[in-house]
Amino acid sequence: MLKDFMRKKLREQGSRVTAQREAILKIFEEYGDHLGADDVYNLLLKRKKPISKSTVYRTLELLTGIGILRKLEFNGGVYRYELSEPSSNHHHAVCTRCGKIIDLKFEEVSELFKKAEKMGFFVNNYSIILYGLCPSCQENEMKSITEKMDNDESR
């Protein structure tokens, strides 16, 4: 159980198990991935578990440090987090129109790693992100283009 893992890890390093930390972990277990600090904050509000934003930030950082969360950086300069357990090698496709994030599995990254290591670089972590349009935004994009053409014609 992830909760027990967190407790163990926290105690190991002399950190404490607090209600806030458990509540945040729960949010990730229930609402899944790609949550930003603000999302976590608001979800806890809705759940009648008000928390301070600084605590959210500090906890996300802490949980990343002990390997429970992974810190992600998509378009927009907002950090997001996901449970780091599931599948290590999945990447993200971010829709630049609506912001939707799609997960992708992919293994063939090893080649790139080898190259980096040949250059003496020690790889700790990596991020692969595709930017583009998700299916529904492609449709909408189409619509706007058609509309625009209609307008141009009727001038």
Partner DNA sequence: ATAAGTGCAAAGGATTTGCGATGGG
Partner DNA sequence: CCCATCGCAAATCCTTTGCACTTAT
Per CB under 8 A, does 73 bind a copy of itself? yes
Q: Which of residues 34-53 bind DNA (CB under 7 A)?
A: 36-38, 50-53
Q: What is the DSSP string of 10-40?
A: HHHTT----HHHHHHHHHHHHH-S-EEHHHH
Identify which of 36, 34, 38, 4 has the alpha carbon closest to the alpha carbon of residue 22: 4
List the single partner that 87 binds among DNA, a copy of itself, none, CB under 5 to 8 Å by kind. none
Q: Which of residues 74-113 bind a copy of itself (CB under 8 A)?
A: 74-75, 77, 79, 91, 93, 95-96, 102, 104-106, 108, 111-113
Identify which of 94, 114, 92 has the alpha carbon closest to the alpha carbon of residue 104: 92
CB distance 40 to 83 below 8 Å:
no
Three-point CA angle 80, 30, 79, nearest 5° = 5
CB distance 83 to 2 below 8 Å:
yes
By rule CB under 8 A, what string of x and - marks binding of each residue 14-53 to a copy of itself?
Answer: ----------------------------------------
Q: Which residues bind a copy of itself (CB under 8 A)?
A: 73-75, 77, 79, 91, 93, 95-96, 102, 104-106, 108, 111-113, 115-116, 119-135, 138
Q: Which residues bind DNA (CB under 7 A)?
A: 10-11, 14-21, 36-38, 50-55, 57-59, 61, 77-79
